[in-house]
């Protein structure tokens, strides 16, 4: 069930209404049942995989809390192995098998390990990482083991963020299931506005860009470098609209019911360097890797070579997290490479606050910095979008050929006014949570904006909606 479908509209209204109608003690059960239904609407049988990790981590949490010393670590490791094992089987097995076949093939040997004919469970990497953060936090003593199995299951399965995040921490989410939420009209309206804006980003920005991107990437060998540059720029907006739109809808849906989910995007395209961009892009994953992988690896405590190693490992593994494909690995590695000069120059934490904090417009230097950062990010996305490494290299080669300096044909320029408008809206909203926080506008203008956004969404609405890119991860 996609957020941008009519079914979800009905589902959301029914679940939210029942949530506030039911007595508090039954609400978690309602949310759990709704989350199961939501997940099973994709591929029902995969709920068994989710069930397996939930059972393992639930008991692992209790055992970790009840034990002392090295035994605690053993249960943590068992839990991590179970979670990573599920990922390994369902996400990485065929990738490894395929590479083994290629490796053995180069020695004219046959690979005896069979290929598994399985479909990747939807959102597997998201809920597995969320489950892992629970046992790690219990192990670290930051979170008490949850005794109510239903509440724990709900922590992993909470439907707004089940299939594409934000990847929540137990400290932020579990206690909220115990809190009694009263219906708050202001909060509900704020949540609905956030959902509306998320839907706008998905349906208007991402899906519009997708038609251009699909056309350009499927026909790139016959197009000029300038058009290919537009292709990666459009894809950057597509991914942003798609994923941040999903996150907005998830956070908004949860907020209507009274839950606060963590922010996942914070205007990443207004970053002045790559480090800032990664602090603003997919924040729940970046911080997950930082807390549970980068710091345990040694983080920034060591000589420069050691830290560079850690940076490259983190970015490369985060690339692999996205997909079992060398393209994603290279994409992650490239982003690590973009990051290193900032670290070497000691400026990777230079830009913390939002750009032009006290000004209306950015200065020339900031415009150059933002453009450069956006371009670096977009160029790496060639590997993210292309079907193979070979395609990525050929795409890059054509992009940087002499035809880069030609004027793109007008048929590829149609989406530019929309993106300019979108960027302007985002720019003027950059100090707020989202673009529809316009309470300072006169009533007529405010209402006109909401109505216009709703109207364009209805116009662009497709009864066969496009899936979200990040569902596949």
Nearest-angstrom CA–CA distance, 198 and 247: 7
Which of 295, 406, 423, 431 contacts another protein by CB under 8 A? 406
Which of these ranges, 44-52, 76-84, 89-97, 403-411, lies near another protein under the rule CB under 8 A?
403-411
Please, which residue, 48 or 458, has the CB nearer to another protein? 458
Concatenated DSSP letters for 363-377? Answer: -HHHHHHHHHHHHHH
Nearest-angstrom CA–CA distance, 100 and 80: 25
Which of 44, 347, 447, 467 contacts another protein by CB under 8 A? 447
Site string for another protein, 158-197 (x = CB under 8 A): -------------------------x-x--xx--x-----
Q: Shortest Cβ distance from residue 455 to another protein (Å)? A: 5
Q: Shortest Cβ distance from residue 328 to another protein (Å)? A: 31
Q: Are 226 and 155 in contact (CB under 8 A)?
A: no
Q: Shortest Cβ distance from residue 253 to another protein (Å)? A: 15
Active site residue 322: yes
Q: Shortest Cβ distance from residue 227 to another protein (Å)? A: 9
Rg of the chain over Cα atoms, rounded to whole angstroms, equals 23
Please, which residue, 267 or 412, has the CB nearer to another protein? 412
Concatenated DSSP letters for 424-442? Answer: HHHHHHTTSSSTT--TTS-
Query: Is residue 222 part of the contact set for another protein (CB under 8 A)?
Result: yes
Nearest-angstrom CA–CA distance, 313 and 419: 34
Angle between helix 185-200 and 225-256 (nearest 10): 160
Query: Is residue 10 part of the contact set for another protein (CB under 8 A)?
Result: no
Kindly report whether the peptide bond that precedes residue 291 is cis, defined as omega within 30 degrees of 0: no
Q: Shortest Cβ distance from residue 251 to another protein (Å)? A: 19
Reading the block at residue 17, the tokens are 């209404």
Query: Is residue 451 part of the contact set for another protein (CB under 8 A)?
Result: yes
Query: Is residue 455 part of the contact set for another protein (CB under 8 A)?
Result: yes
DSSP strand E in 369-460: where? none
Backbone angles phi, psi at 67, to 5 degrees: -100, 165
Nearest-angstrom CA–CA distance, 139 and 65: 7
Q: Shortest Cβ distance from residue 134 to another protein (Å)? A: 35
Query: Is residue 231 part of the contact set for another protein (CB under 8 A)?
Result: no
Please, which residue, 305 or 458, has the CB nearer to another protein? 458
**Residues whose CB falls within 8 Å of the CB of residue 55, separated by 6 or more in sequence, listed in order:** none
Please, which residue, 302 or 454, has the CB nearer to another protein? 454
Q: Considering 282, 322, 434, 440, which one is annotated as catalytic?
A: 322
The neighbour count for residue 293, using CB atoms within 10 Å, is: 15
Query: Is residue 445 part of the contact set for another protein (CB under 8 A)?
Result: no
Please, which residue, 5 or 111, has the CB nearer to another protein? 5
Q: Are 335 and 274 in contact (CB under 8 A)?
A: yes
Applying CB under 8 A, the residues found at the interface with another protein are 183, 185, 188-189, 192, 222, 406-411, 447, 450-451, 454-456, 458-460
């Amino acid at each position: 069930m996609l957020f941008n479908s009519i079914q979800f509209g009905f589902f959301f209204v029914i679940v939210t209404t029942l949530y506030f109608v039911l007595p508090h003690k039954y609400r978690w059960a309602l949310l759990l049942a709704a989350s199961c239904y939501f997940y099973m609407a994709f591929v029902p049988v995969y709920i068994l995989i989710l069930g397996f990790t939930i059972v393992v981590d639930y008991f692992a949490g209790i055992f970790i809390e009840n034990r002392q010393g090295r035994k605690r670590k053993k249960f943590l490791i068992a839990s991590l192995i179970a979670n990573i094992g599920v990922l390994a089987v369902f996400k990485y097995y065929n990738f490894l098998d395929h590479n083994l076949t290629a490796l053995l093939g180069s020695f004219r040997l046959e690979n005896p390990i069979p290929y598994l004919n399985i479909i990747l469970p939807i959102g597997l990497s998201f809920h597995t990482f969320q489950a892992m953060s629970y046992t790690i936090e219990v192990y670290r003593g930051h979170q008490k083991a949850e005794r109510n199995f239903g509440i724990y299951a709900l922590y992993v399965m909470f439907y707004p963020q089940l299939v594409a995040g934000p990847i929540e921490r137990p400290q932020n989410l579990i206690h909220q299931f115990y809190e009694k939420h009263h219906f708050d009209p202001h909060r509900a309206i704020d949540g609905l506005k956030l959902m509306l804006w998320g839907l706008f980003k998905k349906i208007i920005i991402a899906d519009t860009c997708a038609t251009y991107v699909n056309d350009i990437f499927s026909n790139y060998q016959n197009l000029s470098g300038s058009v290919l540059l537009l292709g990666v720029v459009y894809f950057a907006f597509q991914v942003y609209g798609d994923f941040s739109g999903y996150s907005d809808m998830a956070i908004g849906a949860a907020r209507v019911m009274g839950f606060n989910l963590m922010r996942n995007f914070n205007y990443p395209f207004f970053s002045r360097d790559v480090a800032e961009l990664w602090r603003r892009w997919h924040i729940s994953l970046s911080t997950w890797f930082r807390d549970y992988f980068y710091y345990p690896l040694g983080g920034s405590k060591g000589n420069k070579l050691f830290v560079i190693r850690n940076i490259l490992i983190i970015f490369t593994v985060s690339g692999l997290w996205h997909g079992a494909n060398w393209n994603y690995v290279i994409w992650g590695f490239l982003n690590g490479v973009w990051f290193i000069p900032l670290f070497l120059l000691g400026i990777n934490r230079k830009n913390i606050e939002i750009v032009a904090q006290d000004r209306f417009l950015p200065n020339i230097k900031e415009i150059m910095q933002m453009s450069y950062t956006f371009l670096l990010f977009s160029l790496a996305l060639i590997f993210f979008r292309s079907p193979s490494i070979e395609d990525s290299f050929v795409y890059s080669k054509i992009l940087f050929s002499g035809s880069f300096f030609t004027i793109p044909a007008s048929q590829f320029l149609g989406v530019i006014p929309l993106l300019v408008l979108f960027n302007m809206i985002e720019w003027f909203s950059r100090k707020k949570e989202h673009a529809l926080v316009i309470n300072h506008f006169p009533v007529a203008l405010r209402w006109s904006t909401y109505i216009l956004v709703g109207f364009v969404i209805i116009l662009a609405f497709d009864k066969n909606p496009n899936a979200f890119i990040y569902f596949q991860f």
